[in-house]
C-alpha cells in the first residue's frame, strides 16, 4: 500500500508547499492531505490557494481541510452565521484580523467555505485540531485521558492532528479502568481496557509526516528547504 503525506501550517507560503511537493515526487507517496492553516496573516496566500485548487503537472493532488486560520477568515467574512473572528481578535487584535483579510482574495472564499472539518480514511481521523474543535491543540504533553477521549469521539484508531505544529506520536498501549454502576436495577461492575490507539502530530510548514496505512509506519520528515524561484519558473 502506498503512503500518505500529511502536512499543515503552510500559511500562504507557496515556496514551502513547492518544496514539499518536490520532495514527495521522489517518494512512494500517493495521497497528500493538507490539514488546514493553508492561509495566515503573514503573507498573501492567493498564489498558494490557486495552486492547491489547480495543481501543477507532477503535483500530488492535495486533499485539503480547513484549519484554525480558515475558520477565523470564514467567520469574519460572514460564513459562520453570527460568529466573527473573535478568537483571532482576542489573541492578535484588529491588526491581525485586517492582515488576514488582506491575505486572501475574496474570490477564494467559496472554495475555502467548501472545505471539510476533517477526513476519516480507513481507521484514521485526519483533523486540524481534534474532534472537539478546530482550535483544540493536542501536543506530546496532552494528558493521555484527553487524547483517548478525542480518539473515542471519532471512533478512530489513529488521530492525525496539526494544530500544535508539533511532530509527535503518542501511542496508548495498555491499561484499563474499573467502573461500578448502581441504578434502580442494582449494582454491577465493569472493566474496560485501553484500546491500542495513536495520536500523531503531523508538524507544520516544511515539517511533514509520512504514513503507511498498510504497515502503520510513521515517519517524520523535513523538506529540504525553500526552493527559490529560478529563471525557468520553478516555484
Partner 1 sequence: MAHAVISCLHANLAATEAVLCDIDQLGIDTITCLGDLVGYGPQPNEVVELIRARQIPSCQGCWDEDIIEGLNSCECSYPSQLAERRGQRAHHWTAAQLSEENKAFLASLPLSLRRDRLLFVHGSPNSQHEYLLPDMNAFAALERVEAAQADTLFCGHTHRPYVRELREGVIKMRLRRAVANPGPDIEREVDLPVRRIVNAGSVGEPRHGGTSATYVIHHEQDDSVEIREVPYDVERTCQAIVAAGLPPLFAWRLRHGFEYAERADDASHVCER
In the sheet with 3-7, reading across from the earlier edge strand, the strands are: 62-65, 29-35, 3-7, 207-212, 217-222
Q: In the stretch 88-127, what mask flags binding to partner 1 with x, by CB under 8 A?
A: ----------------------------------------
- The per-residue DSSP string of 71-117 comes to HHHHHHTTSSTT--SHHHHHHHHHHHHHHHHHHS-GGGHHHHHH-BS
Residue 169 has, within 13 A of its CA and on its CB side, a CA count of 16
152 binds partner 1 (CB under 8 A): yes
182 binds partner 1 (CB under 8 A): yes
Distance CA 3, CA 77 (A): 36
225 binds partner 1 (CB under 8 A): no
Instruction: Out of 183, 215, 230, 233, point to the residue binding partner 1 (CB under 8 A).
Output: 183
181 binds partner 1 (CB under 8 A): yes
Q: Which three-class secondary structure state does DSSP give residue 201?
A: strand
9 binds partner 1 (CB under 8 A): no
Instruction: Out of 58, 82, 106, 184, point to the residue binding partner 1 (CB under 8 A).
Output: 184
Distance CA 184, CA 204 (A): 52
Closest approach of partner 1 to the CB of residue 185, in Å: 8
Closest approach of partner 1 to the CB of residue 175, in Å: 4
Instruction: Out of 95, 120, 122, 145, point to the residue binding partner 1 (CB under 8 A).
Output: 145
Instruction: Out of 55, 92, 135, 144, point to the residue binding partner 1 (CB under 8 A).
Output: 144
Task: Supply 203's cell numbers.
Answer: 508538524
Interacting stretch for partner 1, rule CB under 8 A, among 9-17, 59-67, 97-105, 178-186?
Answer: 178-186
Instruction: Out of 20, 97, 170, 223, point to the residue binding partner 1 (CB under 8 A).
Output: 170
Alpha-carbon distances of 124 from 32, 40, 120, 132, rounded to whole Å: 14, 27, 6, 16
Instruction: Out of 56, 192, 228, 234, point to the residue binding partner 1 (CB under 8 A).
Output: 192
For residue 8, count CB atoms less than 10 angstroms from its CB and return exposed for 0-12, middle for 13-18, buried for 19 or more: buried
CB 71 within 8 A of CB 39: no
Closest approach of partner 1 to the CB of residue 37, in Å: 17
82 binds partner 1 (CB under 8 A): no
φ, ψ (nearest 5 deg) of residue 123: -105, 25
Closest approach of partner 1 to the CB of residue 72, in Å: 19
Residues that bind partner 1 (CB under 8 A): 132, 140, 143-146, 148-149, 152-153, 166-184, 190, 192, 194, 203, 207, 220, 222
Amino acid at each position: 500500500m502506498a503512503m500518505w503525506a500529511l502536512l499543515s501550517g503552510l500559511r500562504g507560503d507557496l515556496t514551502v508547499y513547492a518544496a514539499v511537493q518536490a520532495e514527495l515526487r521522489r517518494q512512494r507517496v500517493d495521497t497528500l492531505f493538507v490539514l488546514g492553516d493553508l492561509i495566515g496573516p503573514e503573507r498573501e496566500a492567493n498564489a498558494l490557494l490557486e495552486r492547491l485548487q489547480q495543481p501543477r503537472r507532477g503535483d500530488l493532488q492535495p486533499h485539503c481541510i480547513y484549519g484554525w486560520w480558515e475558520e477565523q477568515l470564514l467567520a469574519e467574512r460572514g460564513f459562520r452565521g453570527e460568529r466573527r473572528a473573535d478568537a483571532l481578535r482576542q489573541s492578535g487584535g484588529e491588526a491581525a484580523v485586517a492582515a488576514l483579510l488582506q491575505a486572501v482574495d475574496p474570490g477564494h472564499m467559496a472554495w475555502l467555505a467548501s472545505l471539510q472539518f476533517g477526513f476519516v480514511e480507513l481507521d484514521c481521523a485526519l483533523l486540524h485540531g481534534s474532534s472537539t474543535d478546530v482550535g483544540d491543540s493536542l501536543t506530546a504533553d496532552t494528558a493521555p485521558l484527553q487524547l483517548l477521549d478525542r480518539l473515542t469521539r471519532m471512533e478512530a484508531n489513529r488521530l492525525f492532528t496539526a494544530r500544535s505544529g508539533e511532530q509527535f506520536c503518542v501511542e496508548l498501549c495498555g491499561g484499563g479502568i474499573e467502573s461500578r454502576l448502581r441504578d434502580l436495577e442494582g449494582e454491577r461492575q465493569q472493566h474496560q481496557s485501553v484500546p491500542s490507539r495513536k495520536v500523531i502530530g503531523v508538524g507544520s510548514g516544511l515539517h511533514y509526516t509520512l504514513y503507511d496505512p498498510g504497515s502503520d509506519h510513521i515517519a517524520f520528515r523535513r523538506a529540504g528547504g525553500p526552493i527559490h524561484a529560478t529563471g525557468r519558473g520553478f516555484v
